[in-house]
Each structure stands twice: as structure tokens, then as C-alpha cells.
């Protein structure tokens, strides 16, 4: 799941993100459609549930070693 996109950090704010697509299918996000999104931990102060930082820390302490696959859903340029 998730979104894939390209970001060019050398462009002005509001023009940096392009090629926004659904990561699983590569289908371009359609501005005329509605999408439902979900998250698994809060990043905002004052919201219910544990902060994502606490969830992540507890998980890493539990498993000990983190192995990540390369993330190909985001392309960064302009650095």
C-alpha cells in the first residue's frame, strides 16, 4: 500500500511533488477521486493513542535488529 511520488527539493513549495501514484499498482492519483487513507500511530500532540516514536522504540527494543528493504516509492531530486 501507500503512495509513490517524486519530489524535487530545488523547486518552490507547492511545485515540488509530482508523479503521485498508488504504490501497489502505479496508478496515478486522480484529483477528481476520493481516497481513504489510514495511519497506524499518531504524530500529533493531543491525539489519542501512543506517539509513533514510542511505538517504534518499543518495537525495535523487542526485535533487536531491524532489516529494511530498499524504499523505491519516493524519488528525490534537486539536492
Per-residue pLDDT of 48-68, as tens digits, reads: 777 778 888 999 999 999 998
pLDDT of residue 55: 86
Q: Which residues lie closer than 8 Å to 52 by C-beta, 6 or more apart?
A: 40, 41, 42, 43
CA–CA distance from 37 to each of 2, 3, 34, 40, 79 (Å)?
9, 10, 10, 10, 29
pTM of the predicted model, to two decimals?
0.62
Which is more confidently placed, 55 or 32?
A: 32
Amino acid at each position: 500500500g501507500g503512495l509513490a511520488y517524486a519530489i524535487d527539493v530545488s523547486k518552490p513549495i507547492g511545485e515540488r511533488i509530482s508523479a503521485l501514484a498508488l504504490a501497489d499498482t502505479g496508478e496515478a492519483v486522480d484529483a477528481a477521486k476520493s481516497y481513504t487513507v489510514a495511519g497506524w500511530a499518531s504524530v500529533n500532540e493531543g491525539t489519542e493513542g501512543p506517539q509513533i516514536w514510542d511505538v517504534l522504540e518499543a518495537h525495535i527494543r523487542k526485535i533487536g535488529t531491524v532489516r529494511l528493504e530498499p524504499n523505491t516509492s519516493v524519488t528525490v531530486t534537486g539536492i
